[in-house]
Amino acid sequence: MRYLVLAPAFSLLAFAASEVRGDDNPFDAVYRSVDKWSRNVRQQLQEEATPTPSKKRIHHHSSTLQHHASPSPSPKVKSKEEESDDTPKAKKSSEGDEEDSTPPKHTKHRAKSEDNNPEPTPEETPKPSPQNQPVAVASLDPSQLKDFDSQPAGVQDLIRSALALTQRNLAYTYGSDDPASGGMDCSGFIYYVLSSAGLKDVPRQSSDQYLWVRKNGNFHAVLSRNANTFELEELRPGDLMFWSGTYKVDRDVPVTHVMIYLGKEKGTNKPVMVGASDGRSYNGERRFGVSVFDFKLPNGTPNKSDPDLVTRFEGYSPIPGLREQVYTVQSATPTPTPVAVIRKAPLPEQNPFLRGKAPQPTPTPPKFLTNGD
């Protein structure tokens, strides 16, 4: 028992001696040593009474609790959630199969890109705009037209001058009839071409041009919407063609569009025409300006922006005074009337048989008696 008491005291003295500094008081050193030793013993006793888990065990324990608190869903439930949240349903989509499997983010991006490039409205001739549309024209050479060589000289000159304007890159300019301004509208094109050909009293507006040919020409009305109708059998190159309902007007005669028929192409055998438009097509592409266009009869469907507006082809007519001047047949040169030749008796000096004889008196013509004598 004595040794058990002396051993801690001896160890305490040894520890205190090791902590003693040269300039310290031995009692202060012993006091510090005892205080430090007591704190260490107290700390060890507390750790044994309440053991603190290691960081590794705490991390493992927390992850285990988290794992049991929110277990992962089964694959079947996960697929339903993905279908309802991320994938658009095929029944609600009106697009193609390729877009049905596209996430909403990409679908929204695709819709935005389509809005930037909208599909052109399939209208024959939209409402004219006072501003110039982007120029996109097409042209033809007269040699590419069937039956061009068989047309009268006046019709050939008219078609040549009209096609020459399609090579000047002219825009559609509403209210203009002068190519020097950079563009023309449909009736302005007709007015310029016909006036340049020497025709007089050509009206400026399309409705007035329609009345002009109805009064002075040989107008052919067309009621059918079939391109093979017999009503188009008399259509000839150089004829004027008229439409109504291409845009709203407040006129007594609602004709709103006019062009010149060119005939059929040699390669495609399709009918073509020339004029100014801001939306008709040629070879499947929309054209804007003074150009060559495909001739197609309207299908009678209402305008998308205005259901009360329906485009209609009214008919065609030869240009008054153009073909008549060419086909005028002159009468044969009349045979000249024979002139009676009256021979007079030669004078005595000219007749060798009467030389030297006295001249004979000229016989007096007999006088016929009348009732008054």
CATH code of the domain covering residue 306: 3.90.1720.10
**For residue 310, pLDDT beyond 50:** yes
305 and 164, same structural domain? yes
Output 22 or 164, whichever has higher pLDDT: 164
For residues 186 and 259, is the Cβ–Cβ distance under 8 A?
yes
Is 370 domain-assigned? no
319 and 179, same structural domain? yes
The string over 308-325, giving b where at least 16 C-beta atoms fall within 10 Å of a residue's C-beta and e elsewhere, is ebebbbbbbbbbbbbbee
Give the mean pLDDT of 159-184: 95
- pLDDT, one tens digit per residue, over 202-233 is 999 999 999 999 999 899 999 999 999 999 99
Q: What average pLDDT is seen over the chain? A: 74
163 and 281, same structural domain? yes
Is 95 domain-assigned? no
What is the span of the domain harbouring residue 21?
Answer: 2-49
pLDDT computed for residue 34 by the predictor: 75
Is 202 domain-assigned? yes
Is 151 domain-assigned? yes
Is 171 domain-assigned? yes
Query: 170 is written with which tokens?
Result: 């002219």
For residues 253 and 334, is the Cβ–Cβ distance under 8 A?
no
The confidence band for 43, taking pLDDT boundaries of 50, 70 and 90, is confident
Q: How many domains does the chain have?
A: 2
β-pairing, 183-184 vs 171-172, is parallel
- pLDDT, one tens digit per residue, over 113-127 is 444 444 443 344 445
Is 81 domain-assigned? no
- pLDDT, one tens digit per residue, over 128-137 is 555 556 788 9
The confidence band for 243, taking pLDDT boundaries of 50, 70 and 90, is very high
Q: How many CB atoms lie within 10 A of CB 110?
A: 13
- pLDDT, one tens digit per residue, over 252-271 is 899 999 999 999 999 899 99
pLDDT computed for residue 12 by the predictor: 59
**For residue 41, pLDDT beyond 60:** yes
The confidence band for 105, taking pLDDT boundaries of 50, 70 and 90, is very low
Is 212 domain-assigned? yes
161 and 299, same structural domain? yes
pTM of the model: 0.55
| Domain endpoint, select from 294, 309, 326 | 326
Cross-strand pairs, 265: 145
Q: Which residue has the tokens 């005595």?
A: 348
